[in-house]
Amino acid sequence: MDTASTSTPDAFTEAWLPGPDGTSFYTRTYASAPCPARAAVVFVHGFSGHCARYEWMHGEYAARGVTVFTFDQRGFGRTALDAEERARTPGALYGRTSWREQLGDIEWWVRHVKDRYPGLPVFLMGHSMGGGLALAFATRPGAPPKQETLALLSGIIAGSPLVQQSTPTAKPLRVVGGLASGVLPWTLIATPLIADDLSHDTAENQKYVADPMVIQKGTLRGVNDMLSGGDHLLAKDYKSWPKNMPLLILHGSADRITSPKASRDFFDKVEAEDKEYKVFDGGYHEVMREPNGMKEEYAEASTGWMLERAQNSGSRPVGDGSKL
């Protein structure tokens, strides 16, 4: 299934893989090393982001026994921008996406990872917009995902999930944007973000500013779906959370981009038998980049949570967990 894959020793394997409707996705796999894999996780990045931005965290996961599969989402990163590969996806456009397509893509990759690592429990994790999508994945069984795909997961983690913005967009603008998205869905609009709101690590924040794969723009359809989808999570979709689906939400208490209060409200409403909400005191939006030991605490909390549930599910280490 791989097309044009390369390997970076002791780090990750990258590959262009065909996804739903023939879209070609840039993907990375961080195979567990040096210890045998005990779990696998499908990771979904945030708005304007791309999977390479989480290299340190994913390396930590792999070192702790969790194999990571991640991808540049439809409309973002190399999946949308890589000039050399663009011919593989006719019509690719930066920001051209919708929640239905994104949820369908996640379903595709969950099935891919479960097929590739049949001996491992599989988890779904997302950050920011990706965190909102991860929550939506469990609460919209009628769209994608299908119930049988949801049953493949051993738990869901949402990091700094976009349920609501910390400073919401004015309601009149939301209304106008929603109407415009139905007429001119793929029109690009500016979506500026203050880099110093990402973390307390100035050097990491500047990497975001200088990253050529980060374009602070989105389409009317993509932005409207992202914001309205978060509203639906809090207003009604939480009622559809499967009681037997474990949930972990991680959020910095000082997040200026996505609302910690909204994610806590969602958490409190969900009737899951196994759920945990972990606060990182003073942490900004990208807790996995926070200095002074916080990013290490974030990695330990998320991997520890997965490995505990992997152990409870009766999994066993099987090399890197993949098929021979």
HSE value, Cβ hemisphere, 13 Å, CA-based, for 300 = 6
Gap between the Cα atoms of 215 and 209, Å rounded: 9
C-alpha distance from residue 27 to each of 20, 69, 172, 269, 302 (Å): 14, 7, 38, 34, 21
DSSP string, 32-89: --SSPP-EEEEEE--TT--GGGGHHHHHHHHHTTEEEEEEPPTTSHHHHH-TTTGGGS
Domains of the chain: 3-312 (3.40.50.1820)
C-alpha distance from residue 154 to each of 138, 149, 163, 174 (Å): 12, 11, 22, 36
Number of residues that this document lists for the chain: 324
Which one-letter amino acid corresponds to residue 259?
S
The confidence score (pLDDT) of residue 320 equals 45
| Lowest mean pLDDT segment, chosen from 16-20, 35-39, 82-86 | 82-86
Instruction: Convert the pLDDT of each residue in 106-143 to its tens digit.
Output: 999 999 999 999 999 999 999 999 999 999 999 986 65
**Can you tell me the mean pLDDT for 175-185?**
77
Residue 240 pLDDT > 90, yes or no? Answer: yes
Residue 202 pLDDT > 80, yes or no? Answer: yes
**Can you tell me the mean pLDDT for 275-293?**
98
Predicted TM-score (pTM) of the model is: 0.92
Measured between its terminal Cα atoms, the distance across the chain in Å is: 15
